[in-house]
């Protein structure tokens, strides 16, 4: 048993729902107890979809268990077919139904429905959401995709875009961005799948010359199958960041046999990053956590396009642990591969980065620790399904990354300046700020100025601060003050210094100075 407060990923059948909901004309019949329909609201609320996910649940109850749950499942399949008339159906069990062993695949096939019915085996006690999505997409492709009829391709080269799903972080806009780049290169898109595809579109996957793997977590198993079966090569560079987008263009050009048009002017990131205003970004200590695809991309952008220092890199995607470890090793750090947020929180607390790039969870950890943060990966909340165009991929995606990541730092700087000038006669608590009411009672302010986790629980040994040193400590920007305090106290403790003076503070600073 694993003690869990919250989880980065849902169960694998939620991954299957992400595929079904992304597509049109596909219906998912899920053998599941009453209550599992909660997952519908992820799609209707977080992603704000205007339709119910195409999922029929058997919603069996305790009184059904002694009886004919298999019959209940068949009835659900039959009436779902009658009502929705899908082109194809996927059937499977959620975690509880897995335990009652009704065999959805066999039961559904016995109904003799006049459409393809694809059974899913999603081991709920071993695997998770992204694996479920990848497996479901692979099963669909395996069952439906046909090789192309004429052996050779005619006209412009064509590719499939594989991997975008429902509930995907910025998938909607990434598809638009990548399609635009491909068009500029003279490459047509044959099928985008699963997002917006019908089962009949999946049958046409074989018509393309090659595949583009947008999100390896979802698309890799299907891409590997298409590579092996139809001989379609796959583009595997994920175009997040300017450098990666250029590499992506080069890879597409090589595989498609077209000339690599580098639309450099399309991204403002290189110039913005070079402008003197960005100099203060140099060496900012950044912590990166997310799904493997976005974490790897963010690490590259952060270090080589914004000149941050990477102090931590991690993922909850265990399937990609090797890639993440290799990338971390290139930066001389050790990767954190975990799905326990307490591990992530502990590491962030210890490393005290100046910026966190992570998921919704890291956003909350950052808030508690008072560290600037930007979201780069699912799981995400409703505000990360924005109305405006905001891709992560391609040159426009790079613009979005620059703004999104630098914004919280600017805010952090602004807040720091507010604190620094607080002592000035014209900018004190009584005068208030033109930015709004920021006045706090002195005691509450003193408490709030130190983040709770910044001062460690009382350590053995006396490490008192004299008044002058304490005063000096308060002049250090609040977002690094906790670290300075801790380092100084550790320094004093190791040297048997009982009272920390101004000299101790600066000796420690010289000792730990980065």
Partner 1 sequence: MTPATDTLARAGSAGCTDAPIIQERGQREVFCGLTSIVWLHRKMQDAFFLVVGSRTCAHLLQSAAGVMIFAEPRFATAIMEERDLAGLADANEELDRVVARLLERRPDIRALFLVGSCPSEVIKLDLKRAAGRLDRAFAPRVRVFNYSGSGIETTFTEGEDAALAALVPQMPDEAPGAAPSLLVAGTLPDVVEDQFRRLFADMGIARVGFLPAPRLADLPSVGPSTRVLLAQPFLRDTARALEERGASLLSAPLPVGAEGTTRWLQTAATAFLVPRELFQNVTAAGAARAERALLRHRTALAGRRVFLFPDSQMEVPIARFLHRELGMELVEVGTPYLHRTHLAAELALLPEGTRIVEGQDVDRQLDRCRQAAPDLVVCGLGLANPLEAEGMTTKWSIELMFTPIQGYEQAGDLAELFTRPLARRQRLAV
Q: Does 58 bind partner 1 (CB under 8 A)?
A: yes
Of 58 and 211, nearer to partner 1 (C-beta) is: 58
Of 36 and 291, nearer to partner 1 (C-beta) is: 36
Among 36, 102, 209, 217, binds partner 1 (CB under 8 A): 36
3-class SS at 207?
coil
Shortest Cβ distance from residue 375 to partner 1 (Å)?
14
How many Cα atoms sit within 13 Å of 39 on the Cβ side? 27
Calpha distance 505→489 (Å, rounded): 9
How many C-beta atoms lie closer than 10 Å to residue 460's C-beta?
6
Calpha distance 389→400 (Å, rounded): 9
Contact 104, 92 (CB under 8 A): yes
The catalytic residue among 277, 343, 429, 503 is: 277
Is residue 277 annotated as a catalytic residue, yes or no? yes
Considering only the stretches 53-61, 268-276, 289-297, 439-447, report the one whose residues sit in contact with partner 1 under the rule CB under 8 A: 53-61
Interface mask (CB under 8 A) for partner 1, residues 15-34, using x and -? ------------------xx
Of 96 and 304, nearer to partner 1 (C-beta) is: 96
* DSSP string over 241-291: SHHHHHHHHHHHHHHHT------GGG--HHHHHHSGGGGGGTT-EEEEEES
Cβ-in-10-Å burial (0-12, 13-18, 19+) of 140 comes to buried
Q: Does 71 bind partner 1 (CB under 8 A)?
A: no
* Subset of 105-124 contacting partner 1 (CB under 8 A): 123-124
Shortest Cβ distance from residue 35 to partner 1 (Å)?
3
Shortest Cβ distance from residue 414 to partner 1 (Å)?
25
Calpha distance 234→215 (Å, rounded): 12
* Subset of 376-435 contacting partner 1 (CB under 8 A): 381
Closest Cα to residue 179, out of 197, 159, 194, 195? 159
Among 25, 49, 307, 449, binds partner 1 (CB under 8 A): 49
How many C-beta atoms lie closer than 10 Å to residue 422's C-beta?
13
Size of the site for partner 1 (CB under 8 A): 55
Q: Does 41 bind partner 1 (CB under 8 A)?
A: yes
Q: Does 346 bind partner 1 (CB under 8 A)?
A: no
Q: Does 448 bind partner 1 (CB under 8 A)?
A: no
What's the distance, Cα to Cα, between the start and end of the chain in Å? Answer: 42
What is the chain's Cα-based Rg?
A: 27
Shortest Cβ distance from residue 370 to partner 1 (Å)?
15
Residue with tokens 């604190």: 419
Shortest Cβ distance from residue 198 to partner 1 (Å)?
20
Among 94, 165, 237, 377, binds partner 1 (CB under 8 A): 94
Which residues of the shown chain bind partner 1 in the complex (CB under 8 A)?
Answer: 1-7, 9-11, 13-14, 33-42, 44-45, 48-52, 56-62, 64-65, 76, 79, 83, 94-96, 99-100, 123-126, 128, 361, 364, 368, 381
| Residues annotated catalytic, as ranges | 277
């Amino acid at each position: 048993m694993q003690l869990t407060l919250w989880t980065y990923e849902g169960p694998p059948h939620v991954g299957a729902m992400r595929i079904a909901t992304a597509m049109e004309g596909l219906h998912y019949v899920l053998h599941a107890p009453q209550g599992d329909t909660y997952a519908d609201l992820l799609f209707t609320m977080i992603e704000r979809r205007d339709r119910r996910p195409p999922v029929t649940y058997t919603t069996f109850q305790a009184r059904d268990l002694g009886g004919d749950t298999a019959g209940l499942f068949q009835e659900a399949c039959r009436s779902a077919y009658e009502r929705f008339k899908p082109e194809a159906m996927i059937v499977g069990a959620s975690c509880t139904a897995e335990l009652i062993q009704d065999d959805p695949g066999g039961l559904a096939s016995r109904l003799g429905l006049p459409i393809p019915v694809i059974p899913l085996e999603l081991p709920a006690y071993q695997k998770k959401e992204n694996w479920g999505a990848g497996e479901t997409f692979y099963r669909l492709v395996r069952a439906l995709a046909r090789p192309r009829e004429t052996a050779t391709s005619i006209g412009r080269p064509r590719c499939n875009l594989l991997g975008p799903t429902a509930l995907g972080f910025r998938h909607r806009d990434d598809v638009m961005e990548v399609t635009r780049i491909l068009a500029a290169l003279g490459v047509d898109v044959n099928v985008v799948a699963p997002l917006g595809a019908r089962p009949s579109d999946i049958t046409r996957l074989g018509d393309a010359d090659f595949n583009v793997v947008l999100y390896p977590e979802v698309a890799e198993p299907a891409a590997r199958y298409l590579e092996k079966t139809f001989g379609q090569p796959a583009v595997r560079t994920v175009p997040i960041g300017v450098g990666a987008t250029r590499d992506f263009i080069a890879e597409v050009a090589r595989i498609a046999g077209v000339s690599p048009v580098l639309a450099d002017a399309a991204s403002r990131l290189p110039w913005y990053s070079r402008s003197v205003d960005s100099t203060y970004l140099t060496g900012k200590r950044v912590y990166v956590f997310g799904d493997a695809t976005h974490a790897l991309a963010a690490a590259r952008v952060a270090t080589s396009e914004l000149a941050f220092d990477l102090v931590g890199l991690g993922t909850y995607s265990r399937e990609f642990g090797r890639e993440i470890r290799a990338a971390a090793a290139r930066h001389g750090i050790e990767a954190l591969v975990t799905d326990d947020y307490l591990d992530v929180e502990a590491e962030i607390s210890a490393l005290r980065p100046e910026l966190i790039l992570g998921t919704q969870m890291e956003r909350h950890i950052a808030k508690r620790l008072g560290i600037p943060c930007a979201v780069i990966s699912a799981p995400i909340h409703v505000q990360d399904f924005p109305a405006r165009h905001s891709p992560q991929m391609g040159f426009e995606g790079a613009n979005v990354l620059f703004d999104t990541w630098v914004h919280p730092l600017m805010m952090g700087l602004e807040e720091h300046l507010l604190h620094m000038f607080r002592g000035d006669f014209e900018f004190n608590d009584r005068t208030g700020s033109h930015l709004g009411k920021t006045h706090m009672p002195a005691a509450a302010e003193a408490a709030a100025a130190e983040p709770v986790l910044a001062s460690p629980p009382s350590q053995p040994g006396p490490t008192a601060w004299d008044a002058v040193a304490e005063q000096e400590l308060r002049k250090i920007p609040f977002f690094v003050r906790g670290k300075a305090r801790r380092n100084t106290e550790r320094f004093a403790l190791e040297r048997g210094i009982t009272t920390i003076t101004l000299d101790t503070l600066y000796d420690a600073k010289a000792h730990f100075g980065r």
